[in-house]
Amino acid sequence: MRAISHFVNGQALEGQSGRFGDVFNPNTGEVQARAPLATEAELDAAVQAAAAAQVGWAATNPQRRARVMFEFKRLVERDMNALAEILSSEHGKVIADSKGDIQRGLEVIEFACGIPHVLKGEYTEGAGPGIDVYSMRQPLGVCAGITPFNFPAMIPMWMFGIAIAVGNSFILKPSEKDPTVPVKLAELMMEAGAPAGVLNVVHGDKTAVDAILTHPLIRAVSFVGSSDIAHYVYQTGAAHGKRVQAMGGAKNHGIVMPDADLDQVVKDLSGAAFGSAGERCMALPVVVPVGRKTGDELRERMVAEIETLKVGISTDPAAHYGPVVGAAHRAKIADYIQLGVAEGAELVVDGRDFALQGFENGFFIGPSLFDGVTKGMKTYQEEIFGPVLQIVRAESFEEALSLPSEHQYGNGVAIFTRNGRAAREFASRVNVGMVGINVPIPVPVAYHTFGGWKRSAFGDTNQHGVEGVKFYTKVKTITARWPEGDHEGDAFVIPTMK
């Protein structure tokens, strides 16, 4: 069985706790590796290494830090196929999705390559008599990221890419369910030229999380996961004086107006609801057709579309999606489906009995479709995080607008329409952080910013883009006045390369 190590101060370190997390192959159900679960002392060793490395790294000029990011990007692209295969073997998503996972992370690395420009401060000449005022952005020190299983490449790169580029060092605690790719990324960062200790990977469970949240040398923590844990991370980290951004769960809605292009809507819903087995915080698990005719036609077309979906092993190029990450998660999804039936929703397509020949022990579950879901149902209120699409019908634009606006989550939402005025009004009024107009998964490009509202996010600063730079830096403002005097004899030295 393969053993996974921590990565601290540029070296692989075996775990010392004697506790391990099993890493499964979701296609077969077999345990393929074990990840060590760190002690507080092991986490502290990583923090000490990061703190020692950060001083020199922060003193490295931004252009040279950017060159490391350029080289890191090249190395990840060089190893794209191998990284995607590893990712798929531990997560279960198909190879194409794994490559997309890596590519979306690299887009933030591309943004980080331009960090010298973004770090430029502000300057006011003559703010007062002989007085100039200017500001500079400086790194915080040691930062940390706690990342989920569903995007083991993208979300770590969203975090450490910007944090390291601005001059911080970083502790990454990835999910113990699929931890190999994060370690590979740290190794590539060292190969790209980052000093040892700038990026460290420590595996663990709640013990490691609590050690991160309470460690006095860690200045900022970024988290992505469920809302309950996000709230805990935010409260605990903030109580210990840390800057915290904690992204939680989601229940994204797709509003389908009567004038929408249903052919395109059905294709979009198929990918957004069932792609990556629905294990995405920006998946679209709720569709809201406006009007009975729209709802009836959409349902009929979705049933036909679902029949064309192929569930297969992650290496099958013809598969639309693969297994979910674990047996417990598969059982949780099945329990939600049964609860939906008990609550009175109509189960139009039931994916619970799906089995893949030759891979009967894999963690597979077929696509499911509900109709007649109402906003009072628990299955509507909570995040299922699986290949389950729920139809919640609305009679009017106002009713459709109210559903995502009043939901406890506010991560993403989409509206499908040809009417520009309706789209504009919806985008302006909806109480959700990210909006798509005829775009089913409105994840912003890397130079914009990612973040939801309500119980989908805790903290005031979003992920990546300029917001990410603000999160990982602190502003220092200088007000300067120079006394008048004799300047003769002053020495002006042209700088040279050293």
The distance of Cα 15 from the centroid of its chain, to the nearest Å, equals 26
> How far is it, in rounded angstroms, from Cα 344 to Cα 326?
28
User: Which residues of the chain does CATH 3.40.309.10 include?
Assistant: 253-437
Per-residue pLDDT of the chain (498 residues; tens, 9 = 90+): 899 999 999 999 999 999 999 999 999 999 999 999 999 999 999 999 999 999 999 999 999 999 999 999 999 999 999 999 999 999 999 999 999 999 999 999 999 999 999 999 899 999 999 999 999 999 999 999 999 999 999 999 999 999 999 999 999 999 999 999 999 999 999 999 999 999 999 999 999 999 999 999 999 999 999 999 999 999 999 999 999 999 999 999 999 999 999 999 999 999 999 999 999 999 999 999 999 999 999 999 999 999 999 999 999 999 999 999 999 999 999 999 999 999 999 999 999 999 999 999 999 999 999 999 999 999 999 999 999 999 999 999 999 999 999 999 999 999 999 999 999 999 999 999 999 999 999 999 998 999 999 999 999 899 999 999 999 999 999 999 998 865 555 555 566 665
Q: What is the pLDDT of residue 483?
A: 86
Q: What is the pLDDT of residue 494?
A: 61
Residue 469: burial class (beta carbons within 10 Å; 0-12, 13-18, 19+): buried
Bridge partner residues of 349 (DSSP):
369
Contacts 24+ apart (CB under 8 A), 377-382: 377/340, 377/343, 377/344, 377/345, 378/339, 378/343, 379/336, 379/339, 379/340, 379/343, 379/345, 380/251, 380/286, 381/251, 381/407, 381/408, 382/251, 382/336
Confirm if 205 and 176 have CB atoms less than 8 A apart. Answer: yes
Q: What is the pLDDT of residue 498?
A: 55
Q: What is the pLDDT of residue 496?
A: 66
pTM of the model: 0.93
Give residue for tokens 């200017």: 134
Q: What would the CATH number be for the domain defined by 2-248+456-478?
A: 3.40.605.10
Amino acid making up residue 47: V
Q: What is the pLDDT of residue 1?
A: 81
> How far is it, in rounded angstroms, from Cα 175 to Cα 205?
8
- Give the 3-state secondary structure of the chain: CEECCEEECCEEECCCCCCEEEEEECCCCEEEEEEECCCHHHHHHHHHHHHHHHHHHHHCCHHHHHHHHHHHHHHHHHCHHHHHHHHHHHHCCCHHHHHHHHHHHHHHHHHHCCHHHHCCCCEEEEEECCEEEEEEEEECCEEEEECCCCCCCHHHHHHHHHHHHCCCEEEEECCCCCCHHHHHHHHHHHHCCCCCCCEEECCCCHHHHHHHHHCCCEEEEEEECCHHHHHHHHHHHHHCCCEEEEECCCCCEEEECCCCCHHHHHHHHHHHHHHHHHCCCCCCCEEEEECHHHHHHHHHHHHHHHCCCCECCCCCCCCCECCCCCHHHHHHHHHHHHHHHHHCCEEEECCCCCCCCCCCCCCCCCCEEEECCCCCCHHHHCCCCCCEEEECCECCHHHHHHHHHHCCEECEEEEECCCHHHHHHHHHHCCCCEEEECCCCCCCCCCCCECCEECCEECCCCECHHHHHHHCEEEEEEEEECCCCCCCCCCCCCCCCC
Contacts 24+ apart (CB under 8 A), 55-64: 56/195, 57/164, 57/167, 57/168, 57/169, 57/194, 57/195, 57/198, 58/138, 58/139, 58/167, 58/168, 60/167, 62/115, 62/116, 62/119, 62/165, 62/166, 62/167, 63/116
Pick from 236, 185, 171: nearest CA to 78: 185
- Residue 281 falls in the annotated catalytic set: yes
Active-site hit among 281, 377, 446, 469: 281
User: Which residues of the chain does CATH 3.40.605.10 include?
Assistant: 2-248+456-478
> How far is it, in rounded angstroms, from Cα 129 to Cα 150?
57
Give residue for tokens 């002006």: 492
- Alpha-carbon distance values, 241 to 219, 235, 236, 265, 279 (Å): 8, 10, 9, 46, 32
Pick from 385, 49, 335: nearest CA to 199: 49
> How far is it, in rounded angstroms, from Cα 161 to Cα 138?
16
Q: What is the pLDDT of residue 488?
A: 57
Q: What would the CATH number be for the domain defined by 253-437?
A: 3.40.309.10
Give residue for tokens 């951004």: 245
